[in-house]
Structure 1
Amino acid sequence: MKTARALAVISLAGVAVLAPAAAHAAAGPALPATEAQGAAPTSWGPYHASGRKAVASGSLTATPKDDRSKPAARITVTGTVTDLTRKPACGWALFRLSVKAPGGKVAIKHRNYRTCSYDKPRKFTFSHTNVYEVEFKICSEAKAAKPSLNCLYSGTWKPLYTYYNA
């Protein structure tokens, strides 16, 4: 009986020693140094609204990835938008994100940032996961709760990030 008890203690001790190593191995391979540290931010802008009535600039950081066909795990956009008119108008920084949706589909998300104070920049930051593309547009128009359809749909969107280029 003493031999069986001793073998049981040895096997339990072996499990206790091997369990942390097995858990670490199950967590997956170690990330490369660049992925563990994150990617360096990419600057964008300055972009001006028509007539130079507003300006926006900032940076975008996307997590590095091994497979170019997959979306970025996370993007973070920071920046400022400044109204350059002395009239009662506002500068709008508009972002359109194409993100991975359930079922392998793509969904469109919008982020809008507005400032109506002359020459006083408004800072903004946002993050999103599973991003295929980030596009940007800047407008200057009358004060409103949300950007007009003219601001949203006229002119061109400027690509800031595309998943297959990263």
Structure 2
Amino acid sequence: MRASRTIMIAVTAGLLTAAPVTVASASASADTVAPATGGELGWGPTYAPGKRAVAKGTLTSSGLNKTRIPATSTVAVKGRVTDLTKGPGCGWAVFRISYRTNDGNVPFKHRSYLDCSRGTPRAFAFTDRNVALVELKMCSEGRGSRPSDVCLYAGTWKILYSSL
């Protein structure tokens, strides 16, 4: 009994590390998460609470590296963020990118794009390497050098890409 359980655990672990799986959270269906094996996916429109800002774009993944755990790839994101507020607020598109470092850690960083020009979209684009996870959150708040902590840490993130 003990030997068969050990074999089953080893086989399951081998299957999990052999092929990265695209995951979807409760807030994102399977067709809104970019395939981990490569390709382009259109995402959005994604709205801030109260529909005070919106973002839409594409995400392209390429060069999946399955030799590392977690598997990583190069991800290019292009899009537009639009401020829909009626007052002094602005629209923020905030991306949380989890990447693999050379020492094996998987930290994250934020990339944020601001639009305060009511109704006129602002284009943005970025590319990152060794990416394991890309998430998006839309916020509507005042102009600043960066999004507030409430924007960054309250609420939920929408998963755009995952190789975990």
Question: TM range, normalised to the smaller chain?
Answer: 0.7 to 0.9
Size of the aligned set, in residue pairs, is 127
Q: CA offsets per residue over residues 55-113 of structure 1, 9 Å max, x none?
A: 00111000053738543331000001000012111000000011011211112111000
Residue 40 of structure 1: aligned partner = 39
TM-score by length of 2: 0.72
Quote how far apart the aligned CAs of 1:114 are: 0.2
- Distance between the aligned counterparts of 1:150 and 1:89, measured in 2? 15
TM-score by length of 1: 0.71
- Distance between the aligned counterparts of 2:65 and 2:87, measured in 1? 49
- Distance between the aligned counterparts of 2:70 and 2:100, measured in 1? 9
Q: CA RMSD in A?
A: 1.8
Q: Percent identity?
A: 45
SS in 2 for 1:103: coil
Match for 1:144: what amino acid? G
Going from structure 1 to structure 2, the CA distance change for 1:139 and 1:54 (only over 3 Å counts) comes to: same
SS in 1 for 2:129: strand
Residue 83 of structure 1: aligned partner = 83
Residue 54 of structure 2: aligned partner = 55
Q: Which has the higher contact order (CA 8 A, sep 6+)?
A: 2
Match for 2:40: what amino acid? P
SS in 2 for 1:104: coil
Runs of 4+ deviating beyond 6 Å:
none
Q: Unaligned regions of 5+ residues in structure 2, if any?
A: 1-36
Match for 2:52: what amino acid? K
Contact residue 52 and residue 84 of structure 1 kept, 8 A: yes
Q: Unaligned regions of 5+ residues in structure 1, if any?
A: 1-37
SS in 2 for 1:65: strand
